[in-house]
Amino acid sequence: MRETTTPTNEELIADMLAIYHELGYLTCSSYRTYGLYSEGIAERRFGTWRRACEIANIPMTRRSKKVVALTTTRCIHCDEWFDRPKDDPSHRRCKTCRKAAQWVQPVQEGWETIAC
């Protein structure tokens, strides 16, 4: 779930760098999917997305470790996408997993009530 508080410039850059190091690249689209904050905040703070990446010292080239078709309709498991063990403490999740976490547990609890 996205943070509701306004981040400092340092927090925003740290989040951009964390995603860059996990994915091996950073684009506006990848930040929109995996970032804790809106990519619009970076654009407003630093003028443009390119300028935000320059300040964070992130190259503007994409060297993806994995190529995923843009028509993918299901979520790729975040641990698999980020190439990390399931017990990794960073807990970074994609937007689909973040949204699913909001409704999965209430649905499961409701189903248990109905099924009993």
pTM of the model: 0.54
**82 and 23 in contact (C-beta within 8 Å)?**
yes
User: For the chain, what is the domain count?
Assistant: 1
Residue 4 domain-assigned (yes or no): no
What sign for the dihedral angle of Cα 107, 109, 113, 115?
positive
Tell me, yes or no, whether 2 lies in a domain: no
Under 8 Å between Cβ of 42 and 31: yes
pLDDT of residue 25: 85
Give percent of the chain with pLDDT exceeding 70.
49
Per-residue pLDDT of 40-91, as tens digits, reads 899 999 999 999 999 998 887 765 444 444 434 445 555 555 555 556 555 5
Please say whether the beta carbons of 34 and 19 come within 8 A: yes
Residue 1 falls inside a structural domain = no
- Alpha-carbon gap, residue 107 to 99, rounded angstroms: 13
